[in-house]
Structures are given as structure tokens and as C-alpha cells.
Chains A and B, each alone.
Chain A
Amino acid sequence: KAGVTQTPRYLIKTRGQQVTLSCSPISGHRSVSWYQQTPGQGLQFLFEYFSETQRNKGNFPGRFSGRQFSNSRSEMNVSTLELGDSALYLCASGQGSWTGAKGATNEKLFFGSGTQLSVL
């Protein structure tokens, strides 16, 4: 079974530009979540998508957005790039079953290798 695929692996942009990152989850997985990793802040949750709907969102400005397609592939977009957006962006795939407010579904996430974004 193929793992989580993120493209591109490396990206260099300049301030003010926008960027789109892509993530293909494991076949059959319906949930995709995105994380940003920087040396200073560590791993931080950006947002999560399930069946083309954003299910949860972290504390990031509106310049960070995402979407999910009917085949579960996901993209995230960062507009008006700032130097501080330089980071490793990680995508995680999960089967997507959840029980709502009650209980827990014990699901584990499968992460891709990430896209290393450098903003100059």
C-alpha cells in the first residue's frame, strides 16, 4: 500500500507570493490533516478535512487555507507569504472514522515526508 505522498518535496518562494502544496493520502483514507513544523514552534496543527469538509482548524491566520477533493486528495494554500512561513509542512492521513463527542476511535495518523518551504 502506498504511503502518504506530498509534493513538492522542496519549494523556494519570495515574500508576497502564494504557494500551493499537495497531499495524496493512503488509498481508502478519507481524512487529511495538515501540520506546520518550525524549529521555534515545533509541530502545530493547521486544519483537518474529511469528505471535502473542513472539520477542525488551528490558530493560523486566514492566509492559510486548504481544501479536499472527492478523491480525498488535499491541497493547502498560503497566500502573501511571509518569512515566518518558512517551515516543513506535513500532511497526515487517517481512515476518518470518528464517534463525535463521545468516546474515541483510537485512530493513528500516517504522515508524509513533508514539503520544505523556504520563503526568501
Chain B
Amino acid sequence: DAKTTQPPSMDCAEGRAANLPCNHSTISGNEYVYWYRQIHSQGPQYIIHGLKNNETNEMASLIITEDRKSSTLILPHATLRDTAVYYCIVRVESGGSNYKLTFGKGTLLTVNP
């Protein structure tokens, strides 16, 4: 399984961009990088995913380096409601199943007023 490394915690000021890094140096060519977040007492929530190219949606942007060994999730204008644990996941394919996600410890992002 490709493993990911994330800082345990980060702080961000409200209204500023939050940049969350993730290292996945053993990623395979057909493995996608997914980001989920988990707000306290709730189930994880999908944010974004990508393979090679940078991706953007209504929630965030995902920047993947050219060698695919690391990525950065960007929340352009963080709000207090973005305080959560953010998980960077490289999806493991096992016998065709796409749903065996291997969660690491994630990054606790605290957005401060």
C-alpha cells in the first residue's frame, strides 16, 4: 500500500488560504490521491481527488507535483467551519475493489478567528 505522510497539526487564520501538504513517495502510476476531512463527531467528507493534473472544485484545489510524490490541498479562504482533521489517501486497489481506503492519522487543521 502506498503510504502518506502528513503533519499532525496546522493553524490557519480565518479568511486566509490553508495549504495542507502530503507526501506519498511510493505512489504507483495508477493510484489516485484523495482528500477527505472529518469534522468532530461526523463521518469523513470527500473533498477532492486527482491523478496527475491539478484539480479544483467548489471546496478546494489540489496541486500534485510532477513526480507525483507529494501534493498540497488548498482551501482558498478558510473559515471556522473548516476546522477538521484532513486525510490524504492514496487509494488502494485490491481485487478490483475501490473502497478499501487506508486512512493515516491526518492533519488537524485549526482555523483561528
Contacts and interface: CB of A to CB of B under 8 A. Distances in A.
A98 interface: yes
B112 interface: no
Interface in B9-48: 30-32, 34, 36, 41-46
Interface stretch (A41-49, A60-68, A69-77): A41-49
A55 B99 CA distance: 9
Main secondary structure of the interface of B (DSSP, over half): loop
B53 interface: no
Contact of A43 (B95, B99, B103): B103
Contacts of A105: 98
Interface in A65-120: 90-92, 94, 98-101, 103-114
A16 interface: no
Classify chain B's interface size.
20 to 34
Contacts of B68: none
B74 to A, nearest CB: 19
Given A90-B43, A104-B30, A106-B32, A58 B96 contact: no
Classify chain A's interface size.
20 to 34
Interface in B79-108: 87, 91, 93-106
User: Which of B42, B43, B44, B49 is packed against the most chain A CB atoms within 10 Å?
Assistant: B43
Contacts of B95: 55-56, 101
Interface of A: 4, 31, 33, 35, 42-45, 48, 55-56, 58, 90-92, 94, 98-101, 103-114
Given A4-B43, A48-B97, 10 more contacts: A33-B99, A56-B99, A56-B100, A91-B43, A92-B44, A99-B96, A104-B51, A109-B44, A109-B99, A114-B42
Interface of B: 30-32, 34, 36, 41-46, 49, 51, 87, 91, 93-106
